[in-house]
Structures are given as C-alpha cells and as structure tokens.
Amino acid sequence: MTKRNLIWTGASVGAMLILCSMGAPMAGAQEGGPPKLSTNPGKHVIFPAKGQTAEQQEQDQLAAYTWATQQTGWDPYKAAGQQAQAADTAEAASDATRGAAVGGAARGAILGVAVGAIAGDAGEGAAIGATAGGMGAGMRARQTRKKLDAGMQTGEAAYQAKFADWDKHFVAAMEGKGYTPK
C-alpha cells in the first residue's frame, strides 16, 4: 500500500473525500456526473429532533459546515487535498532515493577502476568501489525515506487535531439548529 493510500485510508475516519452522500442528494445535485462531497465529513448520525425534512437537514448541514470552516479557518476537504498532494510528493521523493544506491554503485565502480588500475587490479578496485558507493548511497536513501515517513506521520497527526477542532464546531452548529448529532 502506498503512503498516499495509507493517508486516505487512515484519515477517512476524520474527513476524507466522501464519494457518496449519506442521505439525500445535496441541493443542486444532478443525477450522474461526479460524486458530490458530503456536508458531514465526520460521518455523524444526525437525528432531526424537530422533524426537519431531509432537504432542510441538507441545507442545515451545509450551513454548519460553512460556519465551522469560518470559525476555525480550516476546511477538511482542502486540507485532505493538500495532504494527498504532500503524500504524492513524498512518495515521488522516496522513489527517487531508491535509485540512489545503483547510481552510487556505478560512481564507486568508476572510481574503483581508477584506483585499482593504479594498484594493479582494476577489476577488484571496481568491485570494492561499487560496494562502497552503493552502501553509502543506500544509507543516505534510507535516511531520506525515514525523514519523509516522519514528516507524513506529523502531518497526519496535525490533520487529525485540526479536524477534531473543526468537528466540535460542526456539531455545535447542528445542535444549535435543532439536531442531535452522534
């Protein structure tokens, strides 16, 4: 599983792109076409305690979503998109480091041929140089991947913390409109 898939999967509890709305279609939704984003990214079960219609609930959820976003200055869908883009960038960088060991081995072999020729055995020098070059580049590549992984985990934790704050605002707005979100 790629890092991007892990992030999308891990954060889906919080607020990832929801391909299907849990209730009635959003106002203005068309049949067919691309799926609409849910106005309830926390996937709350929302009871219309005052007998609101499905259409009214959808409008109220949109208003609560907008209010929570304005109050926190943070939008879960924008943040999810940015996080997915960061995951793609990190994965590309990680893929680039995987080839570093091969490049390091090639450079080491070239240097080893020169040193080995001076010492009298170019073949053995190339083998030693390739091993040393590959090991050095491989170590740097592993360190780079480790840093990328740590950065992704930090980003995921920050996303979850911001989502929790945003979600409190969403729930408060829905309660203020006469719903019982759980």
Please indicate, yes or no, if residue 176 is contained in any of the structural domains.
Answer: yes
Rounded to whole angstroms, how far apart are CA atoms 168 and 182?
Answer: 11
* Of 151, 168, 181, nearest in space to 43 by CA: 181
34-46 pLDDT, tens per residue? 567 888 999 999 9
Instruction: Please tell me the predicted confidence (pLDDT) of residue 94.
Output: 65
Give Cα 54 distance to the centre of its chain: 32
Please indicate, yes or no, if residue 151 is contained in any of the structural domains.
Answer: yes
Q: How many domains is the chain built from?
A: 1
How does DSSP classify residue 23?
S
58-74 pLDDT, tens per residue? 999 999 999 999 999 99
At 14, is the secondary structure helix, strand, or coil?
coil
pLDDT band at 176 (very low <50, low <70, confident <90, very high): very high
Please indicate, yes or no, if residue 166 is contained in any of the structural domains.
Answer: yes
107-163 pLDDT, tens per residue? 665 655 555 556 566 566 656 665 656 566 666 667 767 777 777 788 889 999 999
How does DSSP classify residue 162?
H
Q: Which domain holds residue 160?
A: 97-182
Q: Is the pLDDT of residue 78 over 70?
A: yes
Instruction: Calculate the average pLDDT of the chain.
Output: 73
Please indicate, yes or no, if residue 180 is contained in any of the structural domains.
Answer: yes
One-letter amino acid identity for 162? Answer: K
CA-to-CA separations, 120 to 111, 113, 124, 126, in angstroms, rounded: 14, 10, 9, 12
How does DSSP classify residue 120?
T
Q: Is the pLDDT of residue 7 over 70?
A: no
Please indicate, yes or no, if residue 142 is contained in any of the structural domains.
Answer: yes
Instruction: Please tell me the predicted confidence (pLDDT) of residue 14.
Output: 38
Please indicate, yes or no, if residue 112 is contained in any of the structural domains.
Answer: yes
pLDDT band at 22 (very low <50, low <70, confident <90, very high): very low
The token pair at 163 is 């989502």
Q: Which long-range contacts (CB under 8 A, 24 or more apart) does 147-153 make?
A: 148/90, 148/93, 148/94, 149/3, 151/90, 152/3, 152/7, 152/86, 152/87, 152/90
Please indicate, yes or no, if residue 141 is contained in any of the structural domains.
Answer: yes
The residues, ordered by sequence, that sit 6+ positions from 167 with a Cβ below 8 Å of its Cβ are 14, 15, 42, 68
Please indicate, yes or no, if residue 127 is contained in any of the structural domains.
Answer: yes
